[in-house]
Amino acid sequence: MDQDQAVQAIATADQAEQDHRATRLVELVQLLGDQTVGFSGQAASWLFEDVKATWLYGYFTATVLTAHAFCLRQLAGLLLLLPDDPDLPDSIDSLDDLAAACHERGLVDVELRANLVALHDACSAYTRVNLHEQDMRLERRLVDAEFLGSEEPPLLADARSALNCCVALLHQR
């Protein structure tokens, strides 16, 4: 493949995806609204830019994984705004545990906590591996979605839910 052929192949692929990207952009803009948002540091800001990009370009597994990292940063930032708490460990790398700590301190409501736990579970399905037998978490999620008659593909649903968690945390005060 030469440069001209590569340019043409990319243009063809971009054209085929343009309507889907436009639909996702409209959805993103509606979710964000015009409320003031705040980031818990530069890493969170960069991660959110990546969440948006992966969402728009349809890289939904990356959306879930990046959203997970973003939510960790945002929740940690909320906790850092509180007075020092000796009951908190030095670090937490489980979104499930961090969401629980924030909920216990009134920083997130029960609905957002549940959505963050669902994001933790979705991310775990993609990132956890078992070294002694095949991990079937992702396959079970796919079967459950089919059994429940979900209208959209499970990966798209996971990405949309992850995006919603991110936007909710942007608007937390």
Cβ burial, residue 83 (10 Å; 0-12/13-18/19+): exposed
Tell me how far apart the terminal alpha carbons of the chain are, to the nearest angstrom. 52
Lowest mean pLDDT among 81-85, 127-131, 147-151: 147-151
Q: What is the pLDDT of residue 173?
A: 63
More confident site: 24 or 134? 24
Domain 34-170 is found in CATH 1.20.120: yes
Q: Which two tokens stand for residue 116?
A: 């963050």
> pLDDT class for 39, splitting at 50, 70, 90?
confident
By CB neighbour count within 10 A (0-12 exposed, 13-18 middle, 19+ buried), where does 8 fall?
Answer: exposed
Please give the model's pTM, rounded to 2 decimal places. Answer: 0.87
Find the mean pLDDT for residues 15-42: 88
Cα–Cα distance for residue pair 46/34, rounded to 1 Å? 20
Pairwise pLDDT comparison (60 vs 35), residue with the higher score: 60
Domain range annotation of the chain: 34-170
pLDDT at 74: 95
pLDDT for residue 145: 67
The answer to whether 37 touches 31, Cβ cutoff 8 Å, is no
CB 51 within 8 A of CB 166: yes
Which has the closest alpha carbon to 90: 79, 100, 99? 79
pLDDT at 143: 73
CA angle 60, 137, 103 (to 5 degrees): 75
Quote the percentage of the chain above a pLDDT of 90.
54
| pLDDT band at residue 129 using 50, 70 and 90 as cut-offs | confident
